Amino acid sequence: MNVPPPPLLLAILMTVLPVATPRAAAIEATDQCPRFQFNPPEPYRGGMKYRFVTPSTKAGAFASVCSGLWRQSDSQEPSSGTKQFWSITVSKQDDPKLVEAYNAKDGYAADLARADSGNSTPYLYARFQKFSFSWGNAVGYFVQTTKDATWPEPNNAQLIYEIRGFTSDRQYIVAARFAVTNPQLPAAGSNVLDAHGDIRTLVSFPSYKLLEKSKPETFQPNLTEIQDLISSVVILGPKKSQKDDKPANPESSG
In this prediction, residues 190-213 reach a mean pLDDT of: 96
Assigned domain for 221 exists = yes
Asked whether residue 14 is domain-assigned, the answer is no
Residue 162 has pLDDT above 60, yes or no: yes
3-state class (DSSP) for residue 108 = helix
N- to C-terminal Cα separation, the chain: 18
Give pLDDT, residue 75.
Answer: 41
Domain membership of residue 133 (yes or no) is yes
According to DSSP, the residues that pair with 50 across neighbouring strands are 66
For 17, the 3-state DSSP assignment is coil
Residues paired with 178 in a beta bridge = 86, 161
- Asked if the structure places residue 212 within a domain, the reply is yes
The tens digit of pLDDT for each residue in 10-26 reads 444 433 444 334 444 45
The pLDDT assigned to 190 comes to 73
pLDDT of residue 27: 61
Please write the tens of the pLDDT for every residue from 104-144: 999 999 999 887 877 889 999 999 999 999 999 999 999 99
In a domain, 154, yes or no: yes
Confidence of residue 73 (pLDDT cuts 50, 70, 90): low
For residue 19, tell me if it sits in a domain. Answer: no
Query: Which of residues 20 and 214 earns the better pLDDT score?
Result: 214
CA 191, distance to chain mean position in Å, is 29
Q: Is the pLDDT of residue 193 over 60?
A: yes
The boundaries of the domain holding residue 43 are 29-245
Give domain status of residue 144, yes or no: yes
CA trace torsion 160, 177, 87, 149 (10° rounding): 50
Residue in 160, 162, 186 with CA at minimum distance from that of residue 176 = 162
Average pLDDT score over residue span 227-251: 72
Total domains in the fold of the chain = 1
Residue 22 within any structural domain of the chain: no
